[in-house]
Amino acid sequence: MEFRYLSPHIPRAPLSGPLGVYGRAVEVERKLLVPDPPDLDGIDADEIEQGYLAIGADGEVRLRRKGEKLMLTAKRGSGISRDEAEIELDRESFERLWPLTEGRRLRKRRHVIPHGNLTIELDVYEGELEGLVVAEVEFASEDEARAFEPPGWIGEEVTGDERYLNETLATKGRPS
Amino acid sequence: MEFRYLSPHIPRAPLSGPLGVYGRAVEVERKLLVPDPPDLDGIDADEIEQGYLAIGADGEVRLRRKGEKLMLTAKRGSGISRDEAEIELDRESFERLWPLTEGRRLRKRRHVIPHGNLTIELDVYEGELEGLVVAEVEFASEDEARAFEPPGWIGEEVTGDERYLNETLATKGRPS
Per residue, the 3-state secondary structure of chain B, as one string, reads CCCCCCCCCCCCCCEECCECCCCCCCEEEEEEECCCCCCCCCCCEEEEEEEEEEEECCEEEEEEEECCEEEEEEEEEECCEEEEEEEECCHHHHHHHHHHHCCCEEEEEEEEEEECCEEEEEEEECHHHCCCEEEEEEECCHHHHHHCCCCCCCCCECCCCHHHCHHHHHHHCCCC
Chain A interface, best mutation among B82, B87, B101, B172, by max A CB count within 10 A: B87
Q: Give chain A positions within 8 Å (CB) of B74.
A: 53-54, 61, 97, 100
Task: Report pTM.
Answer: 0.81
Architecture per CATH, A20-172: Beta Barrel (2.40)
Measured CA to CA, the distance from residue B125 to residue B127 in angstroms comes to 7
Measured CA to CA, the distance from residue A152 to residue A100 in angstroms comes to 41
**Closest by CA position to A157, among listed A29, A61, A15:** A29
The catalytically annotated residue of B5, B52, B125, B164 is B52
**Closest by CA position to B115, among listed B86, B80, B148:** B148
* Tens digits of residue pLDDT in B107-154: 999 999 999 989 999 999 999 999 999 999 999 888 888 889 999 999
First to last CA, chain B: 22
Measured CA to CA, the distance from residue A130 to residue B125 in angstroms comes to 49
Measured CA to CA, the distance from residue A66 to residue A123 in angstroms comes to 13
Measured CA to CA, the distance from residue B1 to residue A78 in angstroms comes to 48
The mean pLDDT values, 10 residues at a time, for chain A of 176 residues are 39 39 59 95 93 94 96 82 90 97 97 93 97 95 88 94 95 92
φ/ψ region of A145 (left if φ > 0, alpha if ψ in -120 to 50, else beta) reads alpha
Whether ipTM exceeds 0.85:
no
Pick the CATH number of B15-172 from 1.10.600.10, 2.40.320.10, 3.30.420.40, 3.40.50.1820: 2.40.320.10
Considering only the beta carbons, identify the residue of B21, B53, B87 that sits closest to A74. B53
A22 is catalytic: no
Q: Which amino acid is at A117?
A: N
Contact B47, B109 (CB under 8 A): yes
pLDDT in tens, chain B (176 residues): 333 343 444 433 333 444 433 444 456 889 999 999 999 988 889 999 999 999 998 899 999 999 999 999 999 976 556 789 999 999 999 999 999 999 999 999 999 999 998 999 999 999 999 999 999 999 988 888 888 999 999 999 999 899 999 999 999 999 98
B162 touches chain A (CB under 8 A): no
Return the SS3 of A113.
strand
Q: Domain map of chain A by residue range?
A: 20-172
Query: How would you classify the pairing of strands A59-66 and A45-56?
Result: antiparallel
Considering only the beta carbons, identify the residue of B53, B72, B88 that sits closest to A59. B53
Q: By CA distance, what is A21's nearest residue in B?
A: B96
